[in-house]
Amino acid sequence: MPVKKGENKKAHPSESEIRQDIVTGDWVVIATARAKRPDDFVSAEQPVQEPKSDPFEDPEASGQEKDVLIYRRDDGDWSLRVFPNKFPVVQNSRTAKDLSEGPYFAMSGVGHHEIIVTRDPKRSLALLDTWQVAEVIDAYQERYLALMNKKTVKYIQIFHNHGKGSGASVLHPHSQLIAIPVVSPGLSLDLAGAERYYRSTKQDVFSVIVAHELEARKRLIFENEHFVAFCPFASRAAFEIWVVGKRHNPYFERITDEEKFACAEALQASLRALHQGLNDPGYNFYIHTAPCDGSDYPHYRWHIEIIPRTATWAGFELSTGIEVSTILPEVSAEFLRKQLQ
């Protein structure tokens, strides 16, 4: 990744910064373009916009940037569109500026931040037809492939925020894609763990997980030919769900057309079970996939993690990093399975 050394050591006020923790090596993004004044943080919770102020119903009229991808129906109306975020976490640039200070390393927050929007302003992914969810996954893949070889991109995070407490500031269902020049700390831990498990056992950890969940079936929620959805054995949150492919594949962008529909079916079944069983709770889901940094990750497997917003982190979780779930994943899975019968 190109980093201009010694040039313009001060970031522009509207530019984001990527800073590295000198102790842990973890990365943080300081998205100054989204902040205003210190007083704005007095009331941290932002209201979710009502449909009457929906900026995604007519993106051109609300001043969104030009589409980078649009899918149209037979009648000519759009069914899905992708455009750059009007308030990006990172800025599109060919190079990153070195913003280091003393012993600390930092650089300008470069990359790409895009919004993936479905047509219906009220129907969440849980309520769409399966082919419509498959269309969303198809858009994820298309934009991933378009950005993965950019000079400032080593890692692409695709995620979806839904409902109160999830971080969603607009009710209209939408996903986001953020491409950045560093690999996230969370994924780095996953990659290292998968590699460590293989070296210890000579087995792929995700193959072991999938095989056991299919055999035990007590945490299983949904299964089709290509994917399984289950509550993880060590769930971090109540009703957490993972959607994992049966085929070993570290790279989401290599998903096949057949797998896309099967993935959509598993993802939608999981979200529908949450919607019906928990009265449409807030949740976040995201794709964890091997980075596009040119390295090989043969022992990882891409997957989707769904985290319902059923609790708030308190002192113990924040101080230890150990998350507390108040229900057994076996009980969660049994409850969610019943929603799909």
At 184, give phi and psi (nearest 5°).
Answer: -65, 145
What's the mean pLDDT in 23-30?
80
Residues 232, 260, single domain; the answer is: yes
192 lies in the same domain as 181:
no
Q: Are residues 240 and 335 in the same domain?
A: yes
**The pairing of beta strand 227-230 with beta strand 241-245:** antiparallel
> What's the maximum distance between 2 C-alpha atoms anywhere in the chain?
62
* pLDDT for the residue 36: 53
Residue 100 reports pLDDT greater than 80: yes
38 within some domain: no
Conformational region of residue 251, where left means phi above 0, alpha means psi within -120 to 50, and beta covers everything else: beta
303 and 228 both lie in a single domain: yes
Q: What average pLDDT does the segment 281-290 reach?
A: 96
In a domain, 315, yes or no: yes
**240 within some domain:** yes
**Which band of pLDDT confidence, cut at 50, 70 and 90, is reported for residue 1?**
low
pLDDT band at residue 4 using 50, 70 and 90 as cut-offs: low
My answer on whether 219 and 164 are in the same domain is no
Q: How confident is the model at residue 182 (pLDDT cuts 50, 70, 90)?
A: very high
Q: Report whether 117 contacts 68 (CB < 8 A).
A: no
Residues 176, 57 within the same domain: yes
Q: In this model, does residue 47 exceed pLDDT 90?
A: no
From 138, 158, 185, give the residue that closes a domain: 185
pLDDT of amino acid 69 = 97
- Say if residue 49's pLDDT is above 60: no
pLDDT at 318: 77
Half-sphere exposure at residue 170, Cβ-oriented, CA atoms within 13 angstroms:
21
If asked whether residues 157 and 167 sit together in one domain, one would say yes
Distance (Å, whole) CA 123 – CA 141: 22
Q: Is 129 exposed, middle or buried (0-12, 13-18, 19+ CB in 10 A)?
A: exposed
Whether the per-residue pLDDT at 43 is higher than 50: the answer is no
Domain-embedded: residue 6:
no
146 pLDDT tier (thresholds 50, 70, 90): very high
Q: Is residue 39 part of a domain?
A: no
Q: Which of 169, 185, 201 corresponds to the end of one domain?
A: 185
Last residue of a domain, one of 143, 165, 185: 185
Residue 38 has pLDDT above 60, yes or no: no
In a domain, 233, yes or no: yes
Q: Which residue has the higher pLDDT, 108 or 192?
A: 192
Q: What residues make up the domain containing 267?
A: 187-339
CA distance 51 to 190: 38
Number of helices (H), then strands (E), in the chain: 6, 15
Q: Which tops the pLDDT comparison, 129 or 16?
A: 129
In a domain, 2, yes or no: no
- Gap between the Cα atoms of 8 and 93, Å rounded: 15
Mean pLDDT over each residue of the chain, to the nearest integer: 89
- Digit-coded pLDDT (tens) for 214-268: 999 999 999 999 999 999 999 989 999 999 999 999 999 999 999 999 999 999 9
Q: Identify whether 178 is part of a domain.
A: yes
d(CA 182, CA 328): 35
Counting every residue written for the chain, the total comes to: 341
Whether the predicted pLDDT of 128 surpasses 90: yes
Q: What is the pTM of this model?
A: 0.90
Number of domains in the chain: 2
Do residues 303 and 192 both lie within one domain?
Answer: yes
For residues 172 and 196, state if they share a domain: no
Domain of residue 145, CATH code: 3.30.428.10
Q: What pLDDT score does 24 carry? A: 73
Residue 298: per-residue pLDDT = 96
Estimate to the nearest angstrom the gap between the alpha carbon of 118 and the chain centroid: 16
Q: Are residues 212 and 198 in the same domain?
A: yes
Residues 16 and 165 occupy one common structural domain: yes
CA dist., res. 262 & res. 134, Å (int): 8
Q: Looking at the structure, tell me whether residues 17 and 146 fall in a common domain.
A: yes
How high is the pLDDT of residue 12? 56
